[in-house]
C-alpha cells in the first residue's frame, strides 16, 4: 500500500515514506512466511494425527507469523501540492543555492585568497571544471523552470544565458518572487525536489573547498550566514561573534544538510 496519495512530496514526510516502504516490505515478507507456515502447519497436523502415547513427545505446533502493523506516524497532507512547511524549505534552499554558488564561483575565479591555513591546510583545492559543471547544471535547471514559467505566465522575464553571478541572481530572484504560485502547480514536485538536491550538492562541494573561508551554513545563534574560518581554525560569526570549533561547525553543517536532505526521497511518492 502506498503512502497516503494526498501526502506532501517534501522532506516533511521523509520518515513516513521510509516507514511505509519498510511496511510494504514487511507485508511481502509476511506473505512468504505465511506460505511456509501453512505448509508446516499441515505437516504438523498430519504428524499430530498419527501421534499417540507412548511415542516420545507430541509434534510442536508451528507459530503463526505476526502480521506487520502499518506505520502510525503522522503523514503531512499536501494542499494542494505541498504542505505548509515544505515551501519554506524550498525557499530557503533557493537562497542557499544562490549564496553557496556565489562562494564557489568566487573561489574558482580567484576573487578570494588562495592561501590555505588552519585545519584544511594541505587539502586539495577544488577542481574548477567540476565546480563549473555543477554550477552550470544548477543554473541550467533553474533557467529552464524560470523560462517555462515566464512563458506560461506571459512575463517579460528572459533568463540570461550566462553562468555568472548576475544571471544567477536575476533568475533566482525571479523564481523567489514567483515561488508561491509555482509551488501551487503540480509540476513543482520535480522542481522542489531538484532545488533541495542542488542545494545539498552545492553545500557538499563548498564544504570540500579548502580555499573557502566562508561556511555555507547559518550561525546557530543569530541564523545569519556569516560564519568564516579564522586562521586559528575556529569559525567566527561576523554578525554576532559566536565562535565554533571545526567539530561543532561540522555537526551544525550535518544538521543543516540533513534538514534539507531530499535526494533519495524527492521522487518516491
Ligand atoms: Zn511537506
Ligand atoms: Zn551569529
Helix (H, G, I), strand (E, B) or coil at 84: coil
Say how many Å lie between the CA of residue 158 and the centre of ligand 1: 30
State the SS3 of 86-110: HHHHHHHHHHHHHHHHHHHHHHHCC
Collapsed DSSP state (helix, strand, coil) of residue 244: strand
Supply 133's cell numbers. Answer: 559543471
Grid cell in block for residue 80: 494542494
Ligand closest to 225 (CA) is 2
Compute the distance from residue 117 Cα to the ligand 2 centre, in Å. Answer: 23
CA of 227 to the centre of ligand 1 (A): 29
What is the distance in A from the centroid of ligand 2 to the CA of 88?
21
pLDDT of 267: 38
Q: Is the pLDDT of residue 24 over 80?
A: yes
Lowest mean pLDDT among 124-128, 163-167, 194-198, 227-231: 124-128
* pLDDT tops 90 at residue 69: yes
pLDDT at 115 over 50: no
Res 124: pLDDT: 63
Instruction: Provide the grid cell at 126.
Output: 577544488
Question: With b meaning 16 or more CB within 10 Å and e meaning fewer, what string describes 70-81?
Answer: ebeeebbebeeb
- What distance in angstroms lies between residue 94's CA and the mean position of ligand 2's atoms? 21
**Is 200's pLDDT higher than 90?**
no
Mean pLDDT of 175-195: 94
**Nearest-ligand number for the alpha carbon of 81:** 1
For 117-141, write each residue's pLDDT tens digit: 444 445 567 788 888 999 999 999 9
What pLDDT does residue 259 have? 59
Q: Please tell me the number of the ligand nearest to residue 269's CA.
A: 1
**200 CA distance to ligand 1 middle (Å):** 18
Split at pLDDT 50, 70, 90, the class of 258 is low
Which ligand gives the minimal distance to the CA of 252?
2
Give the rounded distance of the alpha carbon of 170 from its chain centre: 25
- Going from N- to C-terminal start, the domains of the chain cover 1-78, 86-210+247-260
Mean pLDDT, the chain, as a whole number?
84
Q: What is the mean pLDDT of residues 232-237?
A: 86
Amino acid at each position: 500500500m502506498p503512502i497516503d496519495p494526498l501526502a506532501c512530496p517534501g522532506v516533511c514526510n521523509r520518515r513516513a515514506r521510509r516507514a511505509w516502504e519498510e511496511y510494504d516490505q514487511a507485508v511481502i515478507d509476511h506473505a512468504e512466511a505465511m506460505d511456509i507456515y501453512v505448509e508446516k502447519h499441515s505437516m504438523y497436523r498430519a504428524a499430530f494425527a498419527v501421534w499417540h502415547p507412548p511415542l516420545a513427545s507430541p509434534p510442536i505446533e508451528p507459530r503463526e507469523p505476526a502480521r506487520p502493523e502499518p506505520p502510525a506516524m503522522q503523514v503531512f497532507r499536501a494542499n494542494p501540492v505541498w504542505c505548509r512547511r515544505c515551501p519554506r524549505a524550498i525557499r530557503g534552499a533557493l537562497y542557499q543555492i544562490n549564496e553557496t554558488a556565489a562562494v564557489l564561483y568566487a573561489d574558482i575565479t580567484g576573487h578570494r585568497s588562495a592561501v590555505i591555513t588552519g585545519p584544511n591546510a594541505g587539502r586539495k583545492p577544488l577542481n574548477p571544471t567540476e565546480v563549473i559543471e555543477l554550477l552550470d547544471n544548477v543554473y541550467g535547471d533553474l533557467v529552464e523552470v524560470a523560462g517555462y514559467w515566464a512563458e506560461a505566465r506571459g512575463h517579460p522575464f528572459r533568463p540570461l544565458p550566462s553562468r555568472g553571478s548576475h544571471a544567477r541572481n536575476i533568475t533566482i530572484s525571479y523564481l523567489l518572487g514567483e515561488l508561491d504560485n509555482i509551488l501551487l502547480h503540480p509540476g513543482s514536485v520535480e522542481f522542489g525536489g531538484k532545488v533541495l538536491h542542488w542545494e545539498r550538492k552545492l553545500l557538499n562541494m563548498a564544504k570540500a573547498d579548502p580555499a573557502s573561508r566562508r561556511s555555507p551554513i547559518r550561525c546557530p545563534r543569530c541564523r545569519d550566514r556569516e560564519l568564516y574560518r579564522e586562521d586559528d581554525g575556529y569559525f567566527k560569526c561576523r554578525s554576532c561573534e559566536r565562535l565554533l570549533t571545526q567539530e561543532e561547525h561540522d555537526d551544525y553543517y550535518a544538521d543543516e544538510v540533513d534538514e534539507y536532505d531530499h535526494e533519495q526521497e524527492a521522487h518516491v511518492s
